[in-house]
Amino acid sequence: MEEIDFLSLTPINQEESILTTSQGADSVNIKGSVLEKQFSLPNGFHLVLTTENSPYDEALYATLIDQHFEVADQVEISSALTPGILEDAEVQSEDRLKFWFNKAEPYILTFDPKGFIIPRPSDKGSRPFRTVFKKKYLHIH
């Protein structure tokens, strides 16, 4: 995993935006309106961390973009009436990221290139219901 500065975000509203490549050739709608961090993964996927522009109910979205520039997986971290600021995002390996958001202990985000269907019980993030039976790639603990 390597931090990049290749993608840009154009907010549609406070909760959703259009993510595009720097050349503007590809675009996809994703959750969040503030682009916090972006990373490239060894298999050609991109990991994007976005937040909503809300000081009281902040949500962090970890969105995985595949080689076809489509959303492959997305995990949300949020708590009602809890502010959050993404801090100290640190790449620990090609498939592991450590960061702080809305609690004293850090979160660990891992990328599983093979994918999985059933999330681990220890996962801290939530996913949209429509993805229950779809392949997932991100774990947050």
Work out how many domains the chain is built from and give that number: 1
Q: Exposed, middle or buried by CB within 10 Å (0-12, 13-18, 19+), for 40?
A: middle
The pTM is what? 0.89
Q: For the residues 31-36, what does the mean pLDDT come to? A: 93
pLDDT digits (tens, 9 = 90+) for 67-117: 999 999 999 988 766 677 888 999 999 999 999 988 888 999 999 999 888
Domain that holds residue 15: 2-140
Q: What pLDDT is stored for residue 71 in this prediction? A: 95
Amino acid at 138: L
